[in-house]
Amino acid sequence: MNHILVIDDDTYICTLLEKYLKKNGFSVEVAYTAKVGLAQIKKQQPNLILCDFRLPDADGKEMLKSIKEIDSRIQVIFITGYSDVRVAVQLIKSGAYEYVTKPIFPEEILNLINSALKVKSSGDNKSDSSKAQQVHISEEKFSNRFVSGVSTKFLDVMKHVSLVAPTELAVLIQGETGVGKEYLARAIHEQSNRSNMPFVAVDCGAIPKDIANSELFGHIKGAFTNAIANKDGFFEQANGGTIFLDEIGNLSYEIQVKLLRAIQEKVITKVGDSRTIKVDVRVVAATNEELQNAIADNSFREDLYHRLNEFSLRMPPLRERPEDVIEFAHFFLKMGNKELNRNVKAFHPEVIKKFETYAWPGNLRELKNVVKRSCLLCSGDKITIDLLPEEIIKYDATEATLDTDNNGLKSAIVTAEKDAIMDALEKSKFNKSKAADLLNVDRKTLYNKMRLYNIEA
Amino acid sequence: MSNKYYYSLELLRKSTSNDEDFLQLMIKTFIETNRKSIDELKVAIENNNFKLIGEICHKMQSSYKHLNVSFVIPILEELAQYIYSDGNMEEATSYFNIIDDVSTHIFSELNTYIKQN
């Protein structure tokens, strides 16, 4: 029987989920704080954790890190309010399985739990520790898994893809979380001379730091305590083909050195071995952050940056290409109908209008979740506006624009706060504890302000 | 004119798979947890603690949305913003009075439902 831990300070949600999941055959435990939750994980490791994004004693980022340190195989689904969607999407890149927004619908959560546990068991069955979440090797046809955009901005990017794909240039793709960077990487691979060879996609943010070396470059038997057999790393698995390194800024300095050697000299060494192995791999990397900032604070090597950035691509966020939003929405609706056994045929025109003007801070992932949820809730054959999250219904694109242009007092206060925060972060070299001291606030307040103003650091 | 005391058990029935015992458990939990939250909210207002007001209202939103207490939901959303920046204590007090009034009425109706079922 699968064991689930629910961590939420809201008794109502805990009671609802505990009872519902037990009725559906799970063993369930509940914790109301992060401290108690983590203690329970150490005592009896759950298969999956449903975790509130804002606990009284920890936030989602801290919780995910702590949970993965205990056991990186535990699947984590976050329960968030809509204002945290953008950060929740980023957490998926760091190893969370998915997020759901409040109000919660137990049926939606049950579907997610079942698919998360399927992924977990396919990862557990593998003889090496390559988990389906971290890496996937291209077996399924590209066209079955992805849909392309139709907007001018998207097509312009694809023109650049066609230019660079047949070359051997390393490509660095930049763009917000959830914007479709993997799509571009796959398109590069498919249009290259390596298209018949493996495409290995790696979420660098999801690999625990203590095993990243072995995951990427492999190890020999006996190299460390759990190394009971030789293992090929992702670079060897991608030999002859393409490796896609998503969230490249998350790699440690030590790994960056080895990566640079792999690119420059086309050799790797396994952990515990002194012999070099030749590899012929094209590297495509992606980041949602300004790597220049990471170079400035010495957390990312400048020479590696230049090696990765032989050709640069930028995928624009969804809000800059509304025509693509509708194209993708229809694709996700089809997907939702298939997965949830529904027959929803279309979107009401009011919904289309909303989709075209909403900001989509979580980009494609957010759009997918919104469409899937609406599909689940829809009792007719058309998705109507009442099925959308409140935050999208209420979102006013004009107000959002005015807010940034407004010369009123509120705008002046916001600008001043933002400037003060950025100034403190730069002075403290993005050390948030020191920045909070400089600003004379506690860390939690600083984090909240950064979330409010969408300041990423 | 919208009914100030409107709420709906439709979503909760769906979430509890129409299991009456489960439904009643959730109704009791709704009443207990939110009675406690309203008491805490009163104290937070008396202590001029904006952040705590925001946190309590943020927490209350889930269950009120589940029961579609439509008159109170926007008020909770408004007060939840106090997590990020100081609000207006007069406004908070007025809002509290509405939350208290509507919730007390709804709790009473829900208790009657439990007794009758």
Give B80 to chain A, closest Cα distance, Å: 11
Whether ipTM tops 0.95, in short, is no
How long is chain B? 117
Q: What is the pLDDT of residue A144?
A: 53
The token pair that represents A391 in the structure block = 């935050």
Q: Is A11 on the interface with B (CB under 8 A)?
A: yes
The minimal CB distance from A448 to the residues B17, B59, B83 is found for: B83
Q: Which residues of A touch B29 (CB under 8 A)?
A: 11-12, 15-16
Q: What is the pLDDT of residue A404?
A: 47
The answer on pLDDT for A403 being more than 50 is no
Contact A20 B15 (CB under 8 A): yes
- Closest chain A residue to B24, measured at CA: A16
Give B12 to chain A, closest Cα distance, Å: 9
The minimal CB distance from B29 to the residues A11, A54, A449 is found for: A11
Nearest Cα residue to A362 out of A50, A100, A48: A100
Contact B62 A102 (CB under 8 A): yes
Q: Which residues of B touch A57 (CB under 8 A)?
A: none
Contact B84 A452 (CB under 8 A): yes
CB contacts under 8 A, B 32-51 vs A, are 32-34
Higher pLDDT, A142 or A66: A66
User: Please, where are the H alpha helices in B1-88?
Assistant: 10-15, 20-46, 50-66, 73-80
The minimal CB distance from A105 to the residues B15, B32, B63 is found for: B15
> Are A342 and A335 spatial neighbours (Cβ–Cβ below 8 Å)?
no
User: Please, where are the H alpha helices in A30-105?
Assistant: 34-43, 60-70, 85-93
> Are B69 and B106 spatial neighbours (Cβ–Cβ below 8 Å)?
yes
The minimal CB distance from B62 to the residues A13, A20, A23 is found for: A13
Q: Which residues of B touch A390 (CB under 8 A)?
A: 77
What is the band of A123 on the pLDDT scale with cuts at 50, 70, 90?
low
% chain A with pLDDT above 90 = 54
- Ranked by mean pLDDT, the top range of A141-155, A269-283, A417-431 is A269-283
Give B62 to chain A, closest Cα distance, Å: 5
Q: What is the pLDDT of residue A391?
A: 83
The pLDDT tens digits of the residues spanning B31-50 come to 999 999 999 999 999 999 99
- In sequence order, the β-bridge partners of residue A171 are A284, A311
**Torsion angle, CA of A36/A40/A46/A51, rounded to 10 degrees?**
0
The answer on pLDDT for B9 being more than 60 is yes
Q: What is the pLDDT of residue A126?
A: 42
The minimal CB distance from A102 to the residues B22, B29, B61 is found for: B61
- A342-355 burial by CB neighbour count: b if 16+ within 10 A, else e? bebeebeeebbebb
The token pair that represents A136 in the structure block = 């996937």
The answer on pLDDT for A232 being more than 70 is yes
> Are B73 and B65 spatial neighbours (Cβ–Cβ below 8 Å)?
yes
Q: What is the pLDDT of residue A129?
A: 41
- Closest chain A residue to B58, measured at CA: A81
Q: What is the pTM of this model?
A: 0.74
Nearest Cα residue to A344 out of A355, A357, A335, A354: A335
